[in-house]
Amino acid sequence: MPKTPSPPVGKCAEVLMKHAKPTTRRTFLATSGTAVSATLLGPLLLNADRAFGATLVVRRNVAHMDASDPTLASYRTAITAMTALPATNPLSWPYQAAIHGTSTTPAQTAWNTCEHGSIYFWSWHRMYLYWFERIVRKMCKDPCWALPYWDWAPGSDLYLPAPFRDPASPLFTTRNAAMNNGTGSLNPLAVDIGPAFSLTNFYSASSSIEGPHGSVHGQVGGSMCCVPTAALDPIFYLHHANVDRQWNLWLAQGGGRSDPVFDATWTGKTHTFFNESGAAVTMNACQILRAAQQLQYVYEGEPSQVLQYCRRRPPWPWWEFTKELIVKLPIPPIELKAVPVSFPIDLQLIREKLAPLLESKTDTLLLELDDVEAATQPGAVWAVFVGPPAAAEANAKSPYFVGQVALFGSGIRDEAHHEYKPAHFTYPITRALQASLQANADKVNVTFVPLGIVIDGKPTRPEVKSPVRVGKASLSIERAREAK
């Protein structure tokens, strides 16, 4: 990837660098030649691939902030000001949240437009945050304000950030009590992004990342539980900044990963938001592929952003993906509740197809679940294992762990939204099957293990408010071939 040695550093970046907690000490030369004492942000800015405008901002990790951090102080100011505006004003807190989802009627322009269970999941939420951030910037009168992110993946911060747990703060709201009092944390298995990151096809990865993303919604609970209220919680935007950052990180893994820049359905779809003057604006995916260049933000600590352009082949091997259904699995009616349940896959059905597949570096065996639904938000998530999920092995390092079932935004019948559709989940299972085949099994079980939050270091059993029905299961092969 081309790197420009010293891009001009915008004034916002300098302001932010002053407030970031020094984690490493380096000397960083701005274009002016002035030495600035730097933090991790220095090398990060040097990593930027082009000369940006003067307003490049850095979205920082909230774990490096305490309640007095100017970014959080400004966020509190904006929340208070936005909450005071009438709900009919597009800059108001309730209007912004309603763009994501609401049950208030009649719906105003752009309400209930969030994308879940669709190919626009990553792109819609990137646009939404971008315009939201501009509005916050205006409302707190801090022209350099940048949305922080909550890095909730295992190994990072599974606790709700402390400044959001202070009942006296505008950052506080109703949530799962244990999350709000600091005794509870997210279940690491529920939020593991390993399976999503292993997938190379954009659509499969985006679909898979909706699982751990949905777990965060469910386990934070309260307003975050459900689409019609989620964006009323100030943590929502930090959660999604992390999902947005994961898009960059997924791409940065390389290995042929790319945005679908030739798919006119994906690039051509426009979505409506509001700018900081309250005027409606539209945007499409071609305008948001390169966050730093086009939207002027980078994430603290992220590697160099991958440059993608609409209708232009990237300068690395370009894969075309095809999916072949190999078998519809005959499954009994499956209901996910508070105890683990399983169904078997008869390996005789697929043994012949499996052998070449397990050797392949470019083909992935997928387990897909369709017609996944619940009457209301289930209030629980499940880890999915293919192969023996002996309780002792119920962790993300197990080769049998393939992902989660976490409903959010699709598959929930009582959540009024643009249109009801059952949920769909995709799991990469090549590695899990390899492990089972080595054991010479002639069938493997697919097992769903309910996961609650972790309290005082111990995983809890979730209370299941509405069981989840799994209607269909199938196995497919996703093949990647280098395009001519």
Residue 116 engages ligand C2O in binding (rule: CB under 6 A): yes
* Nearest distance from C-beta of residue 117 to ligand C2O, angstroms: 10
Please, which residue, 213 or 245, has the CB nearer to ligand C2O?
213
* Nearest distance from C-beta of residue 417 to ligand C2O, angstroms: 10
Please, which residue, 175 or 431, has the CB nearer to ligand C2O?
175
* Nearest distance from C-beta of residue 126 to ligand C2O, angstroms: 11
Please, which residue, 408 or 427, has the CB nearer to ligand C2O?
408
Residue nearest to ligand C2O (CB): 114
* Nearest distance from C-beta of residue 116 to ligand C2O, angstroms: 6
* Nearest distance from C-beta of residue 243 to ligand C2O, angstroms: 7
Please, which residue, 195 or 409, has the CB nearer to ligand C2O?
409
* Nearest distance from C-beta of residue 418 to ligand C2O, angstroms: 12
Q: For residues 86-105, which are near ligand C2O according to CB under 6 A?
A: 100
Please, which residue, 52 or 274, has the CB nearer to ligand C2O?
274
Please, which residue, 100 or 165, has the CB nearer to ligand C2O?
100
Residue 423 engages ligand C2O in binding (rule: CB under 6 A): no
Please, which residue, 56 or 209, has the CB nearer to ligand C2O?
209
Please, which residue, 140 or 230, has the CB nearer to ligand C2O?
230
For ligand C2O (CB under 6 A), the number of binding residues is 9
Tracing tokens 């302001």 back to the chain, one arrives at: 15
Residue 245 engages ligand C2O in binding (rule: CB under 6 A): no
* Nearest distance from C-beta of residue 246 to ligand C2O, angstroms: 12
Q: For residues 164-223, which are near ligand C2O according to CB under 6 A?
A: 213, 217
* Nearest distance from C-beta of residue 285 to ligand C2O, angstroms: 16
Residue 417 engages ligand C2O in binding (rule: CB under 6 A): no
Residue 60 engages ligand C2O in binding (rule: CB under 6 A): no
Q: Which residues contact ligand C2O (rule: CB under 6 A)?
A: 100, 114, 116, 125, 213, 217, 230, 240, 409
